[in-house]
Amino acid sequence: MLKNYKHIIWDWNGTVLNDLDLCVDVANNLFSKKNVPTLTVEKYKSIFTLPVKNYYIAAGFDFEKESFEVVGKEWMDEYEERKYECQLHEGLIDVLEKIKFLEIEQSLLSAYKQDNLREMADKFNLTKYFSNIVGLDNIYAASKVELVKELMKTIGNGHGEALMIGDTTHDFEVANEIGADCILVAGGHQNLDTLNKTGVKVYNTIRELLGAI
């Protein structure tokens, strides 16, 4: 039960922000220009992973022939232009409000660039829910492991006290790094089969979390 934790750490992309369709569309626009096969949403969710460079390789990029940094920037440039086409996941605010009512501290953790993350959290009026908003200092979505270790210096012990909520196996790995428990949601960037391999509780939607509080 979520009410048993002292701190809940939320992933951003795919968990809080419903940006799956946008990410697939931006990727396919890029892939078409690079002569890489485009993806269905189902295919995308079956190969997406972090570091994001590994996902590009799985999609068909050869980074011996072109620069990952250039490809990553092209993707991010279009994403940034279109990011407010996205909405929060249905039911998210209800979950955040209920957790806030229980006086459980919440943080936002993301492989998204810090400045952009805070800007979007402000735009969606979310900053009132989060004691900490933590992102990367670059656009290349490598890992959240070092970020979460720094976060734990602020919020304290993860063992039995902290819960990570995410949408990828990387979020599970991040939780393991700090001894936190983990819940995954299949409405984001990886499919149910992939998430179930972690062995943790997987929900189909964010709204279902209301029943877990």
Structural domain ending residue among the three candidates 85, 102, 123: 85
- Given this model, what pLDDT does residue 158 score? 59
Same domain for 197 and 98?
Answer: yes
Structural domain ending residue among the three candidates 65, 85, 105: 85
pTM: 0.91
Which residue range forms the structural domain that includes residue 174?
Answer: 2-19+88-212
- Given this model, what pLDDT does residue 140 score? 44
Q: How many domains does the chain have?
A: 2
The DSSP output letter for 60 is: T
Same domain for 66 and 101?
Answer: no
Tell me the C-alpha to C-alpha distance, in Å, between residue 107 and each of 17, 66, 152, 164, 195. 14, 37, 11, 9, 22
Name the pLDDT band for 141 (thresholds 50, 70, 90): very low
Name the pLDDT band for 139 (thresholds 50, 70, 90): very low
Q: What is the mean pLDDT of the chain?
A: 91
Same domain for 130 and 32?
Answer: no
Give tens-digit pLDDT for 35-79: 999 999 999 999 999 888 999 999 999 999 889 999 999 999 999
Burial status of residue 205 (CB atoms within 10 A of its CB: 0-12, 13-18, 19 or more): middle
Of all residues in the chain, the percent with pLDDT exceeding 70 is: 94
- 46, 52 Cβ separation under 8 angstroms: no
- Given this model, what pLDDT does residue 159 score? 65
SS (H, E, C) 111-172: EEEHHHHHHHHHHCCCHHHCCEEEEECCCCCCCCHHHHHHHHHHHCCCCCCEEEEECCHHHH
